[in-house]
Structure 1
């Protein structure tokens, strides 16, 4: 083995401008190569499919893609310098400019000694580069099989949730104000705990929902570390304008496909049916991302599969969701910024069009761990720092993070709360057992 190819020995943890960095070394060394190996295996297993669709050209593209991904895996495992993108796609300049900004602060930028948020996002972008450089398989979603499997393995939970939703919708006109609030809290928590089903955390292993999510809520309540759901509801109620009826808009920045997406669709259905919102805009990824993140294809596919289900209430839910999309009550959007490594406080400068779009919402729900890391900059914040402070000026509209904890960043806790959790459960920030519902309004200090 040449010296340049030797694996880098373990290094002590370090801080880089208060940004989460080398503490993730073991995760980079172990989990990310595992994900890359699964990607390579998936492409190889589809070799016959590529041949059937594209002939020998498809086979050659499969070989060339695997070669690039194997090279990427070696770079990752041996702490090579992070390279500029070469595919010439629309977002490549933004990625390369971001890398050059990192180089101004650190020389060289390598896999083990860089900001964790950056290199993790960078790996997924390089996977797409390997595919895009090798037509005709450029549009192949290497994570589709896992997302599809996750959806079907959660069928019983989806059926239970759709059945519950249809019962709530049928009786909506009979609900008192308190009962309406109770249903809001329940379905907000269902969407929250749907975030436990994250294939990027399990490195693509089975991670579906089996039990009825409604039945689990009371047992999960003690694990919600911050619960601002009353503030979220208050923001929605305050957004109802008698002089502009029917104008309330909720934006949901999605995380995972599969069961979590269903929980988000159920919540969106309730918001519309209850009149708390009149329009829901979903924001997803423009490319396959973090193993299980929602793309436009996943969004459409999930609604179609729900419509086609051999269950009365599940199918009825799917048909209603399709009608929402057709009528423009629901809409799906993607933007290159969601698959850049930038923190969200960069959005006004780096994606002013997206920021302006979000400013049109009355409430933005940010789902999941990656969105939380980008909201807070993935920094080593003291746990008692306010959510408002950690956002560093980001606030296009009232916003709420629905997140189960899977990364080493958490703000907005009470004094001593983090220390108590650490003594009771040392892995509380990463095991997905705990969750937060954190709200911020740009119109008032938190």
Structure 2
């Protein structure tokens, strides 16, 4: 990132106690439900961690949990830097984004996840349900037009796949709701004409795209179909899929989850061709997977480590998927909804950025004043999962006629 100096003065963050009913319900109802579901699904959980998880659920529900210090002594990420003055604070008074990531980090520590390299993913059963449901309900991929129309269809599939989010539904499998859906910010065409049209017209270039993944199941399957489309369209293209370093938000994808999805797609009658092409692309180095602890930290993207910053700068485009990555982009704060996305994202650096998000939390930017003036059918339009944003920011390293991609 260029520097935090490029970020506007920070407004208040979302916290549990005071500034939004949805956030308060998330802390006192949704998180406890996720924790209790985890214990109920895993009879093998030892009594000591089981008691701690059940106590944590009750404390969150009753608004009396106080933040416990976390370091790296359990083999997991060292959270001492993130704690700052938060240790000992009531969970209702810390930033919501901090709290959610903290809860998953704390529970994994109690389950001794980081101490055993063969420790099972505590959310494996939910992820399997999501993947199986996605494969069963998936129609055979159509032969999408090799142009902006096909790109749009697949980006929308990736967008609405994000509706099926197990942390949003308290760990319970639900179908995507197609009723009353709207893309309130739609920069898909701008991304296509700026990034992909020049690349298609110059077969000599070998650009790289990064996709920062979100959920397993329908979303990841649709993401991988989009990857296959782009690889077939541009023989010189390579894609790096950035996954979570450890389980978080119930259904967020880790590297093993990505491998499982590709394998299961290759074994599925409807998606066999796509899955096998992705396996070949992996073997040839055109599809790679990568994980970093930053994606399970409470930090905003303007505090990204230098190594990741360099990766984003070298990519012709970075695509961030889902609500949590969007919240990380804008620091999960109450910015004006009409704040222009391109202006705000000046901190991103030289690479272009596309964010694809189904709205499931209050914070949002980049909505035109005209669209805001028109109003929405529901007062909770930023949180009900029925509205999407696809926001694009053009970087400095886009391919133009007479130049070569990075």
Q: How many residues of Structure 1 are paired with residues of Structure 2 in the alignment?
A: 382
State how 1:5-404 maps to structure 2 within 5 Å: 17-22=11-16, 23=20, 24-44=23-43, 47=44, 62-77=46-61, 78-86=63-71, 88-89=73-74, 92-93=77-78, 95-100=79-84, 102=86, 109-132=89-112, 139-161=119-141, 164=142, 167-168=143-144, 180-208=147-175, 223-237=182-196, 240=199, 245-275=204-234, 278-309=237-268, 311=269, 313-347=270-304, 351-391=305-345, 393-404=347-358
The aligned residue for residue 413 of structure 1 is: 367
Structure 1: state its 5+ residue gaps.
1-15, 48-60, 169-174, 211-215
SS of equivalent to 1:359 = helix
The aligned residue for residue 58 of structure 1 is: none
Per the alignment, do residues 335 and 418 of structure 1 end up closer, same or farther by CA in structure 2, a change over 3 Å counting?
same
Map Cα deviations across residues 319-355 of structure 1 (whole Å, 9 max, x no partner). 11111111111011001111100000111xxx11111
* Coordinate RMSD, CA, aligned: 2.6
Given the two structures, how large is their TM-score scaled by the length of structure 1?
0.79
Greater RCO structure (CA 8 Å; 6+ sep) = 2
SS of equivalent to 1:201 = coil
Per the alignment, do residues 30 and 270 of structure 1 end up closer, same or farther by CA in structure 2, a change over 3 Å counting?
same
Per the alignment, do residues 292 and 130 of structure 1 end up closer, same or farther by CA in structure 2, a change over 3 Å counting?
same
Bigger helix fraction: 1
Aligned mates of 1:102, 1:237 — CA distance in 2: 44
Q: Confirm or deny: 8 A CA contact 2:199 2:234 kept in the other structure.
A: no
Per the alignment, do residues 419 and 110 of structure 1 end up closer, same or farther by CA in structure 2, a change over 3 Å counting?
farther
Offset at 1:369? 0.3
Offset at 1:32? 0.5
Q: Confirm or deny: 8 A CA contact 2:74 2:114 kept in the other structure.
A: no
Given the two structures, how large is their TM-score scaled by the length of structure 2?
0.86
SS of equivalent to 1:251 = strand
Per the alignment, do residues 91 and 238 of structure 1 end up closer, same or farther by CA in structure 2, a change over 3 Å counting?
farther
Structure 2: state its 5+ residue gaps.
1-9, 398-406
Per the alignment, do residues 258 and 277 of structure 1 end up closer, same or farther by CA in structure 2, a change over 3 Å counting?
farther
State how 1:425-444 maps to structure 2 within 5 Å: 425-443=378-396
SS of equivalent to 1:287 = coil
Aligned mates of 1:42, 1:194 — CA distance in 2: 25
